[in-house]
Amino acid sequence: MPVTLDRMKKGTRGRVVDVVGGHGAVGKLSAQGIVAGMVIEKAGGLGGGPVLLRVGGAQVALGRGLAKRVLVEVISA
């Protein structure tokens, strides 16, 4: 069952299922490599601050608002 990126636990890997939002949000996430089918890993992010991810070979920080728009199928913890 998909969860939003902000709800994933640190160290968990998942496959992006969908990005919910308008052209601006989808475009910004796509420019950072966060698109359907991409495997990502949540590297950190506590409280109300940004969510840290590993996408490919890069580390990316997303605001909570954008992280809530990314639906992920968890593949490993």
CATH architecture type of domain 3-76: Roll (2.30)
> How would you class 42 by CB atoms within 10 Å of its CB: exposed for 0-12, middle for 13-18, buried for 19 or more?
buried
DSSP structure class, residue 35: -
For the chain, the structural domain boundaries read 3-76
pLDDT in tens, 15-34: 999 999 899 999 999 999 99
pLDDT of residue 77: 65
Tell whether pTM > 0.85. Answer: yes
